[in-house]
Chains A and B, each alone.
Chain A
Amino acid sequence: MTQSVVVQGEDMEPNCIGGRITGLKARAVLVDMEEGVLAEILQGPLRQLFSSTQLISDVSGSGNNWAVGHHTYGSVYREQIVDQVRRAAEHCDCLQCFFLIHSMGGGTGSGLGTFVLKLLEEEFPEVCRIVTSVYPTAEDDVITSPYNCVLAMKELTEHADCVLPVDNQSLVDIVGKIQHMSHTGKPSCVIKKNSTIISGQGGWLDQMFSDAFSKEHQLIRADPKHNLYLACALMLRGNVQLSDLRRNIDRLKPTLPFVQWNQEGWKTSLCSVPPVGHTHSLLALANNTCVQFAFGQLRERFVKLYRRKAHLHHYLAVDGMESAGFSEALSCLSDLIQDYTHLECPLMPNAPRLSIAT
């Protein structure tokens, strides 16, 4: 019953899931302001899933410029995007959510992607919006990526219901580890995905739970255990019992600091069907104050450029982009960091309960 329309921004290619798929079409709208990547998808292993009517593209890309994606292409493609999304939504008998996937560092995913997010909010205010945002590594070759990221983050903060940040550096580290393991031939190969873990065979159930909270297995570079959990969802798949879940929560709880007002902030789910090719899997989604550090580093990189006004003119030359946009985005990010920091401050005494005159 759960249905989502996936709006894909940009170069992010879906994984090949193997096997032939016929007669199914993805509930998705694919947007890129150049043709290359979309053309590849139409010829790739998942080509049957998509038809060219689901694509929206232009020829020249956004040149790693958030303002071009957001303002220039935003105003040109507005109607077309709304139309396409509406058409996809009409195929759902019970639309639950929009899932937006984009990168933060370039111009199209970041700029136009967040423009689409705002459009979705205007056009479908009751449908929730979950965004997966891929953050660049510190050594990213897009020089203006800190600008693009910070400008996009303001939009995410204001218009998304939930953001799942993914750091490319973490992905690189994980891939490195997998390659290392497959070379050394370690038997219980563990593939990690964000707070997502796909663990190998052998009933290493408890290990899988421990891993989900360790810093090596996060999809952003951060250590959740040494920061504060606001809430945590565990989604377990495969032949696993509720009691396994409960036992592991009880086992790990003492090592996991939870904010005082949400000591039981767990949401759990079980699905007996494992992901293809695995016996079981665990996805941990955490709202944790550890994100503030990654955001702090991003702010530093932004400020370094911004202080010198480097590349600013490329942005300010774009119709609709004002210089205030930069300072506002910066202060929005600072506020966000501060919000997370404040949560970690020594607890204020509990607010006194309402008293009733007797």
Chain B
Amino acid sequence: MSIVSLQVGQCGNQIGHELFNAISGDCNGPNRKTYSECSNERFFHESPTGELVARSVLVDMEPKVVAQTISKACKSGRWRYGDEAYFSQKQGSGNNWANGFCVHGPRHKEVVEELVRREIERCDRLAGIFTMMSVAGGTGSGVGTYITQCLRDMYPQSFIFNQLTWPYGAGEVIVQNYNSVLTLSHLYQLSDAILVHENDTVHKICSRLMNIKHISINDVNKVIAHQLGSVLQPAYTADSSGYYSRNPIGELLSSVVCHPEYKLLSLCNIPHMSSTSLAYSTFNWPGLLKHLRQMLIASARMEEGIDWTVSVPSAVTSGGESGTNSRQKCFNVSIANLLILRGKDVSTAQTGKLLSNICLEAILKNVNSFSAWNSPVPFNGYQKSATLVSNSQSLLKPLDNIVRKAWDMFASRAYLHQYTKFGISEEDFLDSFTALEQIISSYTHL
């Protein structure tokens, strides 16, 4: 089973590169022959001369980032991108979603479709299409959305899974909230699941947990790549009966996206720390799981500053409906969670009891909402690590902020002419706002 990746725009390409880098590095460790074979089949094909070539298509509307990404991969010596697996142009999309979606997307439809088709035909079996992009610029957001739409038409039965990077709240792109609103509302109709990384959160992980003094975008991308890798690398699942799962994206979706109205996923991962501290730290599974559980219910995306006073009212934990009125302190309600444990003694850890403990607050709506994967192979230098993919309310606040700021701007008609110029009308904006308000409302009323 193989995953075909798509890296669109500056952010998508830079994160994609870090992801393949992390994965190829992770496969190099000792005692992991089957694991590595499975991972390689997932993410790479072999060139006639035996080199690992990423199953990935690179797209940007300017040349610089794609060129740098390809040459950096080459220099790694471990893997590279395909010789003809990229497409770039000269001008960029000028941070304008409409320019990407209405102009560049349609103009380059055939070329990009062809590149993706070639990658897909190279796979014995396709696990799904995994697209990485930012929502704030013009290319990742606009062209990325357009390509997703084309791929949805071409491959109606395949899984399409999008990783989105949300902008810093105090942003660099003035119209970032417009671009975000347009991207999210469209993707919600097209994608099977949307996995979100907020730049602010990841930045905090770099400063507080990794102790990085001058944080570069590379540092941020390494954390994102680590988190993605911890989900996408091979693992045993409930269905895989002692083999590494052959259907990673399908199983991920069936465990966390149980209803089409709810497909926003967030990720938390522990531990994150600098490699120097890592050398002196030991972890035990009960401790890690206790933290992870509290991060989930207190909606903390990192291991520091967790609010330990948040708890789940007993009425809810025992499954009663009556508890919803008596929530003492607003805890983060989730509809589904997937726990992934990687590392030593993972099978001996008394996960069963602890897992069910996490699962308790997820039993609302009577959906089968908890799954666990594991792998005995330590991931990316961490002896033990735990990752939680949640479909929960934790993205409500940032989503609401994006919509509010975009709405304020929209109400004064600011910058609209730059979108109508390319064919996105006020009506289109209104439709997008309506779609997002609907999503906000759905998650709020869980």
Contact = CB atoms under 8 A, between A and B. Distances in A.
B408 A350 contact: yes
B91 A1 contact: yes
Interface in A325-358: 350-351, 353-356, 358
Interface residues of B, number: 28
Given A350-B411, A353-B404, A356-B438, A1 B174 contact: no
Interface string B82-101: 00000000110000000000
B433 interface: yes
B91 to A, nearest CB: 5
Contacts of A351: 407-408, 411
Interface string B412-446: 10100000000000000010011001101100010
Contacts of B409: 261-262
Contact of A264 (B62, B170, B437): B170
Interface string B144-178: 00000000000000000000000001111110000
A265 B414 CA distance: 11
B419 to A, nearest CB: 14
A354 B437 contact: yes
A96 interface: yes
A78 interface: no
Given A261-B412, A356-B441, A1 B90 contact: yes
Interface residues of A, number: 23
Contacts of B171: 264
Interface in A240-272: 243, 259-262, 264-268
A266 B174 contact: yes
A121 to B, nearest CB: 12
A350 B407 CA distance: 9
Given A350-B411, A351-B407, A353-B403, A1 B63 contact: yes
B245 to A, nearest CB: 37
Interface string B54-73: 00000000110000000000
B174 A96 contact: no
B89 to A, nearest CB: 8
Nearest to B404: A353
Contacts of B437: 353-356
Nearest to B440: A356
Main secondary structure of the interface of A (DSSP, over half): loop
A141 interface: no
Contacts of B169: 264
Given A262-B174, A264-B171, A266-B174, A1 B62 contact: yes
A347 B3 CA distance: 51
Given A354-B437, A355-B437, A265 B174 contact: yes
A358 B444 CA distance: 10
Max chain B Cβ within 10 angstroms of own Cβ: one of A93, A96, A259, A264 = A264
B414 A358 contact: no
Contacts of B214: 243
Interface string A209-249: 00000000000000000000011000000000001000000
A94 interface: yes
A354 B90 contact: no
A264 B173 CA distance: 9
A268 B172 contact: yes
B90 A231 contact: no
A354 B434 contact: yes
Given A264-B171, A358-B441, A96 B91 contact: yes
A353 B407 contact: yes
Max chain A Cβ within 10 angstroms of own Cβ: one of B63, B172, B433 = B172
B61 to A, nearest CB: 11
A345 to B, nearest CB: 12
Contact of A354 (B62, B170, B414, B433): B433
Contacts of B441: 356, 358
A94 B90 CA distance: 7
Nearest to A230: B414
Interface in B395-410: 403-405, 407-409
Contacts of B433: 354
A267 B412 CA distance: 20
B445 A358 contact: yes
A237 to B, nearest CB: 18
Interface in B166-199: 169-174
Contacts of A260: 408
A355 B444 CA distance: 13
A230 B408 CA distance: 13
Contacts of B430: 354
A66 to B, nearest CB: 27
B93 to A, nearest CB: 12
Nearest to A343: B412
Interface string A40-76: 0000000000000000000000000000000000000
B414 A261 contact: yes
B414 A262 contact: yes
A355 B437 CA distance: 7
A93 B90 contact: yes
Nearest to A2: B91
A93 B63 CA distance: 13
Nearest to B63: A1
A122 to B, nearest CB: 16
Contacts of B407: 351, 353-354
Contacts of B172: 266-268
Contacts of A354: 407, 430, 433-434, 437
Interface in B226-257: none
B171 to A, nearest CB: 5
Contacts of A230: 414
A89 B28 CA distance: 52
A244 to B, nearest CB: 12
A351 B413 CA distance: 12
Contacts of B438: 356
Nearest to B414: A261
A317 B239 CA distance: 88
Max chain A Cβ within 10 angstroms of own Cβ: one of B170, B404, B438 = B170
A264 B171 CA distance: 7
Contacts of A358: 441, 445
Interface string B374-405: 00000000000000000000000000000111
A96 B214 CA distance: 35
Nearest to A95: B91
A346 to B, nearest CB: 14
A355 B434 CA distance: 8
A231 B414 CA distance: 11
Contacts of B411: 261, 350-351
23 contacts: A1-B63, A1-B90, A1-B91, A230-B414, A231-B174, A243-B214, A261-B405, A261-B408, A261-B409, A264-B169, A264-B170, A264-B171, A351-B407, A351-B408, A353-B404, A354-B407, A354-B433, A354-B434, A354-B437, A356-B434, A356-B438, A356-B440, A358-B445
Given A94-B90, A353-B437, A354-B433, 7 more contacts: A1-B90, A267-B172, A267-B173, A354-B434, A356-B437, A356-B441, A358-B445
Interface of A: 1, 93-94, 96, 230-231, 243, 259-262, 264-268, 350-351, 353-356, 358
Which 10 A-B pairs rank lowest in CB-CB distance, beginning with the nearest? A351-B411, A94-B90, A261-B408, A356-B441, A261-B409, A354-B437, A356-B437, A261-B412, A356-B438, A265-B174
